[in-house]
């Protein structure tokens, strides 16, 4: 059994964060483990409150997993503050996992800040150099490079700048732009567009968490980085296409669509 570890915040509504990560890893046949960095009280409409986890508990969670279980890949999501970033970075330097996918979670769909501004420098300086891949969306990319990124040419330039921050590769997600939902991958040598038609749905809660976790799961199973990204893009597109109408806000993606379809087909045989 291949394994992957997610280091992120908990979403009580189940659509994003640790819950989405574990679902994506499980759907792709990987045993998911977790380190919870924060507990959020949220649903499909809003984040009501956030409780950051004590730093010693975060460190203990990481050490408990790595000291006992082989970790095939790590996905990093919500870290909240610079102190948490530092603890996670120090632990990764100690255990040196082969693959680290960093989703630089900064702002929720509802506009709630999930990463303190003071923590951005720590994220860039401490975690990006340890990352196999970073997966910012457009608003996160703009925050990281300090300017607007709204065209393909601006995405190319942003990829280069983000790569120079120390990560092995970059995937800028284009879901916030108009037109098709095309993502741009850059590994320092080649650019690749991962294209998909825009799906007309409001139920996209947790898409970034799910995509980055799917990439980590694919890496844990032995895929090359570009293969892992390509397969994850196909997976998240299916999950969004068949997203779930739960709640009255932004509903979740359908992490287990293929498994549900198979189960229902077997029932009717």
Q: pLDDT band at residue 259, thresholds of 50, 70 and 90?
A: confident
Please state, in angstroms and rounded to a whole number, the distance separating the CA atoms of residues 68 and 76: 20
Distance of CA 118 to the CA centre of its chain: 21
Please state which of the ranges 14-18, 133-137, 259-263 shows the lowest mean pLDDT: 259-263
Q: What is the per-residue pLDDT for 2?
A: 98
Assign 111 a pLDDT band (cuts: 50, 70, 90): low
Alpha helices in the chain (DSSP H): 17-27, 55-66, 82-95, 120-122, 138-145, 152-163, 207-220, 225-241, 257-267
Closest CA to 202 of 243, 174, 169, 255: 243
Worst-scoring range by mean pLDDT, 57-66, 111-120, 139-148, 227-236? 111-120
For residue 34, list its beta bridge partners: 6
Q: How confident is the prediction for the chain on average, in pLDDT?
A: 93
Q: Provide the pLDDT for residue 265.
A: 65
- pLDDT reading at 223 higher than 90: yes
Question: For the residues 8-20, what does the mean pLDDT come to?
Answer: 96
Q: Is the pLDDT of residue 206 over 70?
A: yes
pLDDT surpasses 70 at 247 = yes
pLDDT at 181: 84
DSSP 8-state secondary structure symbol assigned to residue 50: E
Residue 14 gets the label, from left (phi > 0), alpha (psi -120 to 50) or beta, of left
H-run or E-run covering 45: none
User: Catalytic positions, please?
Assistant: 173, 204, 206-209
Q: Say what the pLDDT of residue 269 is.
A: 63
By percentage, how much of the chain surpasses pLDDT 90? 83
The half-sphere exposure of 154 on its side-chain side, counting CA atoms within 13 A, is 14
Record the pTM.
Answer: 0.94
Other C-beta atoms within 10 Å of 20: how many?
30
Q: Say how many Å lie between the first and final Cα of the chain, rounded.
A: 30
pLDDT of residue 126: 96
Q: What is the tens place of the pLDDT at every residue in 72-99?
A: 999 999 998 999 999 999 999 999 999 9
């Amino acid at each position: 059994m291949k394994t992957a570890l997610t280091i992120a915040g908990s979403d009580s509504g189940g659509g994003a964060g640790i819950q989405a990560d574990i679902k994506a890893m499980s759907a792709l046949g990987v045993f998911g483990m977790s380190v919870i960095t924060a507990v959020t009280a949220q649903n499909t409409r809003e984040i009501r409150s956030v409780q950051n986890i004590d730093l010693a508990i975060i460190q203990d969670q990481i050490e408990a997993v790595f000291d006992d279980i082989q970790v095939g890949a790590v996905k990093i999501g919500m870290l909240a503050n610079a102190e948490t970033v530092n603890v996670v970075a120090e632990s990764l330097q100690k255990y040196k996992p082969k693959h680290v996918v960093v989703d630089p979670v900064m702002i929720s769909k509802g506009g709630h800040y999930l990463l303190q501004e003071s923590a951005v420098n720590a994220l860039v300086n401490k975690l990006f150099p340890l990352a196999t891949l970073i997966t910012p969306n457009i608003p996160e990319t703009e925050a990281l490079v300090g300017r607007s990124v709204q065209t393909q040419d601006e995405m190319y330039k942003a990829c280069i700048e983000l790569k120079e921050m120390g990560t092995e590769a970059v995937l800028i997600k284009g879901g916030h732009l108009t037109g098709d939902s095309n993502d741009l991958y850059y590994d320092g040598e080649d650019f690749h567009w991962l294209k998909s038609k825009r799906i007309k749905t409001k139920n996209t809660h947790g898409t970034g968490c799910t995509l980055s976790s799917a990439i980590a799961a694919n890496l844990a199973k032995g895929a090359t980085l570009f293969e892992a990204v390509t397969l994850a893009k196909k997976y998240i597109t299916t999950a969004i296409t068949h997203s779930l109408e739960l709640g009255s806000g932004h509903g979740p993606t359908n992490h287990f669509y293929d498994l549900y379809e198979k189960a229902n087909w077997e029932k009717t045989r």
